[in-house]
Amino acid sequence: MTRLRRETILVFGASGSVGREVVSQLGAAAVDVRGLTRDPESAAMPPEVETVRGDITDPASLESALAGVDAVFLLWPSFSAEGVDAVIDAIDRHVKRVVYLSAQAAVADPESVWAVIERRIAATELEWTFLRPTGFAKNTLGWADQIAAGVVTAPYGRAARSLIDERDMAAVAVRALTGTELEGFGIPAESFNGHGGETYVLSGPETVTQAEQVQIIGEAIGRRVLWQEQPRAEALSAIAAAFGSEAIAEGALDTWQGFETEPEIVTSTVQEVTGRRAHSFVEWAREHADEFR
């Protein structure tokens, strides 16, 4: 009897927070996992994962990593789409399908890097699935030093976010990469394991204001932490320095300001695709409490 070849899935950004979760969860599936990272020696991947060196800024370095691969989990670590054509072309030469971690911002801004990459992938022969998460729960780790000091000074404390746990983004990505039964979508099973051509908007199970996030983190670490509202003009320079662009910082501030009056979207997609509910921000904060101490 001929033994069927196991699929090989390549995970871009395998040592990052989302990529590492995708690698971990793929480990339970009947596939061979290959993790792409700039520095395999320090990536500390599980022993069953084939760790390979590659850098999206050097598309030629991706050729050997993509050889023999059936599917790719793709994320783009930059706010610039420079070089994306060469990377997508390399993927298209080797791979049948791709799951791309985009962003909900692709809807609001058709010129954003996420929207540009979505259009570029859709123009190929690749079978694709786009994941559009809302805000990442892990981004609150940017407040870690202020949390330790007991006061977080930031703008738009009333902005209501539906922050998503990286484990939930990874769980949906793994289902899209490997195939599983879906609830509520009515998608034919023969279509890319039910996920081909689909765009999934992913969120946490409820909205939590930024000021409430700080309170929840404080409760998780057993310490009272206060929110101090910061004027927009004062916040702009620090955020621009962090993002490397004043225009991107202005866009982020506009988005947060909008969430004060129109909260971030909440979807049930995580549960519909994976069969289990998304983690709450309270659960995420408790899981990551040591990182704030």
Does an H or E element contain 25, and which?
helix 17-26
Instruction: Name the nearest CA neighbour of 100 among 223, 182, 11.
Output: 11
> The domain spanning residue 209 has which CATH number?
3.40.50.720
The answer as to whether 125 is a domain residue is: yes
Looking at the structure, do residues 209 and 112 belong to the same domain, yes or no?
Answer: no
Q: Based on the fold, state whether residues 56 and 115 are members of the same structural domain.
A: yes
Torsion sign over Cα 226, 147, 277, 100: positive
For every residue of 274-285, DSSP letters joined together read: HSSPPPPHHHHH
Q: How many domains does the chain have?
A: 2
Together in a domain, 185 and 256: no
User: Both 147 and 62 in a single domain?
Assistant: no
In 3-state terms, the chain is what percent helix, strand and coil (to 5)? 45, 20, 35
Based on the fold, state whether residues 73 and 111 are members of the same structural domain. Answer: yes
Torsion of CA 166, 130, 58, 60, to 10 degrees: 130
Domain with 246, as residue range(s), is: 134-164+203-266+277-293
| Predicted pLDDT at 39 | 87
Q: Which residues of the chain have pLDDT under 50?
A: 1-3, 181-192
- Domain assignment present for residue 272? The answer is no
Whether residues 224 and 253 share a domain: the answer is yes
Q: Across-strand partners of 72?
A: 10, 98
DSSP annotation of 271 reads H
What is residue 124's predicted lDDT score, i.e. its pLDDT?
Answer: 96
Q: Are residues 107 and 149 in the same domain?
A: no
Q: For the whole model, what pTM was predicted?
A: 0.91
Torsion (CA) 159, 109, 96, 275 in degrees, nearest 10: 30
**Is residue 43 assigned to a domain?**
yes
In a shared domain, residues 57 and 126:
yes
